[in-house]
Copies of this chain bind each other. A is one copy, B any other.
Amino acid sequence: MDGIIFGKNSVLEALIAGDREINKILISKNLHSDTKLNTIKELARQNGVTYQFVAKEKFQEYSGYNHQGIIAQISPIKYTDLDKFLENKYQNDALVILDGIEDSHNLGAIIRTCVCAGVRGIILPSRRNVLINTVVEKTSAGAINHIPIIKVNSLVNAVQKLKNKDWWIIATDASAKDNYYNIDYCNMNSVIIMGAEHTGVSKSLLKLSDFVVKIPMMNNFNSLNVSNAFSAIIFETLRQKLNNLNN
C-alpha cells in the first residue's frame, strides 16, 4: 500500500510539513467534522490539494489499515543524504542510528519519540532494516514529516564519517557495564545506536562506539521493547540538557 497515508494525524502532518506532493485526499462522508478535519480542509485549500468526500464503501480496500475514514495519495518521503546533512552546524545535538529494526510499529514509534525529543535525524541502513512504509507512517502519527530520514548503504561508513565530524557514538547493549544515565550527554553531539529486536547492535558498530551502555533491568526479565528502551535513553539526554541550561 505504497503512496497512501492513513488517518487524520498523518494527513494533517503531511500538509503542515508541505514538502511532499499530495495528489488527492479522500474523506469518508461518515467522518464527523472536528478541528483536525477542518484544519486539513483549510490547509488543502490553501495549498491547492484536492479533497473529496466519498462513500465509506470506498475505504473497503484499505480495511486492513487503521484509516479512520481519511486517506491521502502522496509521494514517498524523500530520504536525506548524510553528507548533505553533515554540512550543517550542530551543537549539543542528537542523532539516532537504527541497526536492523524489523518491526514497522517499532520504527514508527521511534520516529515519533525522536520528533518529541528534538532528535535531529534518523539514520537507517538501506538493507536489513524496515524502511518507511504505510504502517511506519501511521504509527509515527505524522512525525515522519518533521525529521530527516537518512538512508545509507553502510552504517560502518556512516559512523566513521560522524566520528570524523566529532560526533560521539553511544551504542546500547544489554551486556554493557555502564548504565545509560551515567554518560554526560551535555556539550557534545551524540549518536545513539539502537539494535535489532533480537540480535542487538552489530559487533562492527559496537567496536566503533565511544560508549556502550545498558538500561538496568529488574526482575531478570531482560526484554524491553526497543522503542521503549529508546524512549528511556533519549529523554535522559534531554533531561540532562534541559537541567544544564537551567544551571
Query: Of B115, B236, B242, which contacts A221 at CB under 8 A?
Result: B115
**Interface-side segment among A79-87, A125-133, A212-220:** A212-220
Q: Are B179 and A242 in contact, CB atoms less than 8 angstroms apart?
A: yes
Q: Are B228 and A115 in contact, CB atoms less than 8 angstroms apart?
A: no
0/1 per residue, A100-115, Cβ < 8 Å to B?
0000010001001101
Q: Are A112 and B223 in contact, CB atoms less than 8 angstroms apart?
A: yes
Query: Of B146, B223, B235, which contacts A141 at CB under 8 A?
Result: B223
- A219 surroundings in chain B (CB, below 8 A): 115-116, 118, 146
- A9 surroundings in chain B (CB, below 8 A): 223
In the complex, A49 has a CB within 8 A of chain B: no
In the complex, A117 has a CB within 8 A of chain B: yes
Answer whether A221 and B181 are a contact pair too, CB < 8 Å, given A228-B228, A228-B231, A242-B216.
no
0/1 per residue, A199-222, Cβ < 8 Å to B?
000000000000000011111011
Q: Which residues of A contact B (CB under 8 A)?
A: 9, 105, 109, 112-113, 115-118, 141-143, 146, 179, 181, 215-219, 221-225, 227-232, 234-236, 238-239, 242-243
Query: Would you list 26 pairs from A and B whose C-beta atoms are within 8 A, ordered by A residue?
Result: A9-B223, A109-B227, A112-B224, A113-B224, A115-B218, A115-B219, A116-B218, A116-B219, A116-B221, A116-B223, A141-B223, A142-B223, A143-B223, A146-B219, A146-B221, A179-B239, A179-B242, A181-B239, A181-B243, A216-B242, A224-B231, A227-B227, A231-B232, A232-B234, A232-B235, A236-B236
